Structure 1
């Protein structure tokens, strides 16, 4: 089953949990916060899910674990139950446009913690609205869910394995190419990339409308980056959010991949770890 769902498919479903995961990126300081966008209008029945508090733990001392560390099973379970998520009910997640970051992070975490049926709205709210489907300003108030968080449903990388995978497998860097090259770094204290990693910006996973490219297109794209049968694949970004989109795109293409949750913001906390530029 595809991890994606179309607006028409979602409109025809009943008894599903819908999470609005819109998020104001740190590199885009202008524009409304996610909760403000939600209050202006959202898919009817959707509940707002806050990436910073529901989909990440607080950063550790010295930045260990990165800017968006993996939440504990207990904390994630509590958050999802508060949002009405149950293990027996389909969950659909969406963000503003193209599922680039926050929605994919929610999809990945729910899968990692064992939810069997999570879908991402292809094209996000923009696609929903473009098809003439309704929006609502009424805040969702779901009944508490019964989701049980059991970690281990998706593969993860730590710093050591990420560095090794860049040599003996394929480690995809999901950030913009200029950040990979070390020409700019708007957030983290060190610019560059993990040596051996391959630049694979997530923007190239979607078409101009913000919808994911077809599976064959994505398979060909990743094949040109060295992702071939029998090769272990992983992805990282700045803090493990955008890289979830890369893992999602790989999933659409039928390719399993691991996520380095701490990503670059964790990698650079240890000055002994090498950094490449160019």
Structure 2
């Protein structure tokens, strides 16, 4: 199943007899919260999900957005109406990072049918889709997470994969090179990792590049059908976007959830700088 759905495809499905459940996951690094934006206008029937409280655990040594407690995540998804048998479509304001995080978590937890609205809210509106301020009353879902459906990396596993396969660093190039580091204790990258900024996955209109162009991009980064691939970023959010992009062209990839925020926190892990993997 293609993990992406276009605005026009979603409009058709929403008009059908069995529309998917919509989750609004608007979020920005450092705020402001997405709930007020949701209340000001969202896709009809969409339920708001908070990334920081529902899709991540508290920040700490495991990173800024570690995996949430399974019981917390399960309760949040059931409150939002998620059931195992109902298809889910997630969207955000257009950047795609938060929606990808929700997509990845639901896939990791075993949900069989989750897609991301390509281009998010912006694409919906550009296609003539209506917004509403009505907050829907949804029946509680019956989703019971079964984690482990997609691969996860920890710090040592990420370091090893960088040597035997391809570990992609989804952050901006200047953070990878160690020229700037606005958030974490030190700049640079995991030795052996390849710079692959998430921004390179999308066109100027915010939509994902066509599959053939995405495939060319990843091939240029050393990804082949036989390659073992892992991805990390600052805190495991934008890296989910990279995993989504890879999945859209049929390439499975493991996510290092703790990412650079965990790697750099201990102060005793090796750090490479400059444009080369190291």
When normalised by structure 1's length, the TM-score is: 0.95
Tell me the residue number matched to 1:247.
243
1:93 aligns with 2:90: yes
Tell me the residue number matched to 2:173.
177
Distance in 1 of aligned mates of 2:230 and 2:198? 14
1:53 aligns with 2:49: no
- Give the 3-state SS of the residue equivalent to 1:12 in structure 2: helix
Report 1:1-278 matches (<5 A).
1-13=1-13, 14-26=18-30, 32-59=32-59, 63-99=60-96, 101-278=97-274
Deviation at 1:72, TM superposition (A): 2.5
Deviation at 1:228, TM superposition (A): 1.3
Query: 1:238, 1:265 within 8 Å by CA — same for their partners in 2?
Result: yes
Distance in 2 of aligned mates of 1:84 and 1:133? 22
| Greater alpha carbon shift after TM alignment, 104-113 vs 225-234 | 225-234
Distance in 2 of aligned mates of 1:129 and 1:224? 34
Query: 1:81, 1:146 within 8 Å by CA — same for their partners in 2?
Result: yes
Distance in 2 of aligned mates of 1:181 and 1:40? 39
Distance in 1 of aligned mates of 2:75 and 2:129? 31
Distance in 2 of aligned mates of 1:75 and 1:231? 34
Gap regions ≥5 residues in structure 2 = none
Displacement over 3 Å in runs of 4+: none
Gap regions ≥5 residues in structure 1 = none
Deviation at 1:47, TM superposition (A): 0.6
Query: 2:119, 2:206 within 8 Å by CA — same for their partners in 1?
Result: yes
Distance in 2 of aligned mates of 1:2 and 1:92? 12
Deviation at 1:230, TM superposition (A): 1.4
